[in-house]
Amino acid sequence: MTKKEFNTVIAVTLLLIILILIGIVFTVVYKFRAPAITVEPQPKAAEVTVTGLKIPPVVYVYNGVVQKVGQDYLLVAARSHNNYLAKDVVLKVLTDPQTEFKKRIFPGNISEETTIITTSEKLLKFSDIKIGDLVEVHSEQNIRGLVDFTASQVKVLAI
């Protein structure tokens, strides 16, 4: 073997050794690297109502019809078309000793010329609320997306 052939064999051998070492290093690094952290996307709360209104990030009031009066709670059927809700739901509205109960009375006749509607309110007791009453339930916490919460105020809406 000539010196030129010998040098060619050495060069090719060194090149193969370098390529094999790069392959080993790549395999080791790839195999033992920290796994990628993936975060599963959380299902987003509905962003719009059935009528197309954007649901705000904070909601303090819902309204609906009383379906059941429990010992310290109301079941209220809340319709999505007049609440910040993506679908109709039954709310479990809890009450406590701090919950205020009121009756908001609207005038019986409102003419087309009326620009301001004057209502009056009177205090109620929890026991005054009946199945079929239209109520407005208020909370001091953000109730967006909640179906059970404690009300700070319950207003029966009446004519």
Work out the average pLDDT over 2-11: 82
Average of per-residue pLDDT across 5-21: 84
Q: What is the pLDDT of residue 35?
A: 56
Which position has the token pair 């319709």? 79
Task: Specify the pLDDT at position 23.
Answer: 82
β-strand pairing of 153-158 with 134-138: antiparallel
Strand locations in 6-108, DSSP E? Answer: 61-69, 73-78, 89-94, 100-105
pLDDT band at 46 (very low <50, low <70, confident <90, very high): low
Helices (H), 47-118: none
CATH architecture of 61-158: Beta Barrel (2.40)
CB–CB of 121/143 below 8 Å? no
Contact assessment for residue 81 and residue 49, using Cβ atoms and an 8 Å cutoff: yes
- List pLDDT tens digits, range 116-141: 888 899 999 999 999 999 999 999 99
43 vs 115, higher pLDDT = 115
